[in-house]
Structure 1
Amino acid sequence: MLPMSAVDQSRQSSAAWFGFLLTALVAGAAIPSQGRINSELAAEVDDPFLAALLSFGTGLLLMLVIAYLTPTGRRTLGQVRPALRRGEVRWWYLLAGCIGGYFVLTQSLTIGLIGVAVFTVAVVTGQTLGGLLWDRIGLGPAGRKRLNAVRVLGALLTVLAVLWTVSPQLGGHAGSWAWLLLVIFPLTAGFTNSAQQALNGRQSAAYGSPIPATLINFVAGTAVLLLAYLVKVLVSGVGETLPTAPWYYLGGPLGCVFIGLGAVLVTRVGVLLAAMGMIAGQLIGSLLLDLIVPAPGSVVTLSTVLGTLLTLVAVVIASLPDIRRTR
């Protein structure tokens, strides 16, 4: 067999990075769709705790079906215990889903109080800072990644692009201490979310598939949210009526897309680039939602469009060292 030429390697590298970007955009676009559905569900049942539990519960049911009714799911589930025995997966990796539960609960609790724009900026800032840190210490399966000037520039551009994108919606908030404290919740949710993706990536690399890690995430997250809901029931009781429209229950399946694809991305490109690519997907998904099915108070301006495009530029800039090294 003839060795691959430099031109063929360059084409293969470009195709691989185009595939990474497309996958990241799809994974990220699932988040604003999930957020819109979970927000509507929380308003419908008048209970953010129940809405978050229903979202994770439907995702858990879907992952149980995928894991136990598909050959790949059954085969890779059998790799969990051996990976734990070999030390490739530590027991605390299995708790990564608790972070996802915290993220969804934070989404349900704070968006109505601080707004979608501020929530997005706080989450993106947390994801970017977390991506820098987790790559630096080597939490993800790709190991340690050097934080050169190009990566840091791309991360800073991402945060600035998000600020520019949501700038039309940032006015009108009182900068009280209570409001600032509320912002800490999505900030920490974004920061820990990038750690969740890193741990999921390690599990997916050990199992040979993202299916077991995604299932374990939903088991852990559902357990945490069930506990939170039971505490709420003890305090204020039960009285909610579940909606009958099926689209209210699509938040969980969209979470499966985000967690599963995110775990695959982290194994390929590291935590920071995966987070940045999915951030671009979040903004593009939000823009499409606001254009196709706008929510009350949504604003689409030139800065919204240009800021979204700038996130894609930031992802490409941060990816340049890896693209050159692959070639």
Structure 2
Amino acid sequence: MSSSTITQTPVRDAGQSRTAWILFLVMSLVAGAAIPSQGRINSALAAETADPFLAALISFAVGLVLMLVIVAATPRGRATMRRVRPALAAGEVRWWYLLAGCLGGYLVLTQSLTIGMIGVAVFTVAVVTGQTLGGMLWDRVGLGPGGRKRLSPLRVIGAILTVLAVLWTVSPQLGADHGGPEWLLLVILPLLAGVGSSAQQALNGRQSAAYGSPIPGTLINFIAGTAVLLVAYLIKLGVGGVGEALPTAGWYYLGGPMGCVFIGLGAVLVTRVGVLLAAMGMIAGQLIGSLLLDLIIPAPGSVVTTATVLGTLLTLVAVVVASLPDGRASRRRGAGH
């Protein structure tokens, strides 16, 4: 499938069926919900091992093993992996696309390093703001597989609504005991991680379009991310030594599979709707997933209020607004006929 074909058939176009739009929304919510689930698991693993670097490394390493099994055990996995070399040789995939997983590793590491000092609420606002700004930037410069996308007023309004909705959702958890250059630096780190996360999805979308499957790109993501986190962990070992023993309960190691869901579905979504809309849909999934976790398995310090619920619903409104057909583009197409 060529990039021109992808550009002409995004899910948000008026000619697309309602079923296709619902499928996009469901995939976005599932992909986004995997992130708070992964964060909750990795946070518990970090607490058990007293080592956030090791927890992040284990998460990526388990995801890497799972992807290796999928590739080795399925005919489709083996077939699509054989498309990587020809895609690189033809220039459909640049070598630096293969480093997208490093951005995911940075996001996981930033989560482990900063949440304890700035809190989950501030971290969420910073990452979501970065994802939204990054989504607009990468769509505008054409980093995603669909090429450059014009920032229609509805998309900009939807992006602004998304950031406001996240602020509203986490407002009960935002404290006033912040400030100083050190705190600001800690906020900038996850903000940059959010920008990088949207770039990761854009590059994964390009790979998915070139290979005809998200499997090779997802595997390559975990290879790159694991390598980066391994280096970070070895540096940490030299400075701080070994943490506690690994826990034996199996659920501590499910963070990697959650990452596979996020990366794989995200790569598919970007090829269909662009970086910004995919990011916004997954942001809605993150908030809904967090809300469900806080209701079903509340963590210490979690707060669910009216603002939490209404802010989460507002993110869905923002996604609907941003996915509405561009009236000016539709009129131009009509005039062309």
Same-fold call, TM > 0.5? yes
Q: Deviations over 1:12-45 (max 9, x none)?
A: 5211111101100000000000001111111110
Q: Deviations over 1:158-183 (max 9, x none)?
A: 00000000000002432122111100
Aligned to 1:87: 91
Pick aligned residue for 1:208 from 187, 206, 212: 212
Counterpart-to-counterpart distance in 1, 2:272 and 2:14:
17
Are 1:287 and 2:291 matched, yes or no? yes
**Contact 2:60–2:226, Cα closer than 8 Å, also in 1:** yes
Q: Deviations over 1:203-256 (max 9, x none)?
A: 000001000000000000000000000011111222431111110000000000
Secondary structure of the residue that 1:173 maps to in structure 2?
Answer: coil
Aligned to 2:313: 309
Residues 120-199 of structure 1 aligned to structure 2 (within 5 Å): 120-199=124-203
Counterpart-to-counterpart distance in 2, 1:116 and 1:239:
23
Which residue identity does 1:95 align to in structure 2? L
Which residue identity does 2:246 align to in structure 1? L
Are 1:41 and 2:42 matched, yes or no? no
Q: 1:269 to 1:242 in 2, by over 3 A?
A: same
Aligned to 1:221: 225
Are 1:256 and 2:260 matched, yes or no? yes
Which residue identity does 1:178 align to in structure 2? E
Q: CA RMSD in A?
A: 1.6
Which residue identity does 2:28 align to in structure 1? A
4+ aligned runs moved over 4 Å, structure 1: 9-12, 322-327
In structure 2, the gaps of 5 or more residues are 1-12
**Contact 2:208–2:217, Cα closer than 8 Å, also in 1:** yes
Q: 1:57 to 1:104 in 2, by over 3 A?
A: same
Aligned to 1:116: 120
Q: Deviations over 1:62-86 (max 9, x none)?
A: 0000111101100000000000011
Counterpart-to-counterpart distance in 2, 1:128 and 1:12:
24
Counterpart-to-counterpart distance in 2, 1:49 and 1:114:
18
In structure 1, the gaps of 5 or more residues are 1-8
Counterpart-to-counterpart distance in 2, 1:138 and 1:258:
22
**Contact 2:130–2:193, Cα closer than 8 Å, also in 1:** yes
Are 1:15 and 2:25 matched, yes or no? no
**How far did 1:120 drift?**
0.4
Residues 67-78 of structure 1 aligned to structure 2 (within 5 Å): 67-78=71-82
Counterpart-to-counterpart distance in 1, 2:284 and 2:59:
23
Aligned to 1:6: none
What count of residue pairs does the alignment treat as equivalent? 319
Aligned to 1:5: none
Counterpart-to-counterpart distance in 1, 2:248 and 2:224:
26
**Contact 2:59–2:256, Cα closer than 8 Å, also in 1:** yes
Are 1:266 and 2:275 matched, yes or no? no
Pick aligned residue for 2:31 from 22, 27, 34: 27
Task: State TM-score, norm by structure 1.
Answer: 0.95
Counterpart-to-counterpart distance in 2, 1:243 and 1:140:
40
**Contact 2:154–2:326, Cα closer than 8 Å, also in 1:** no
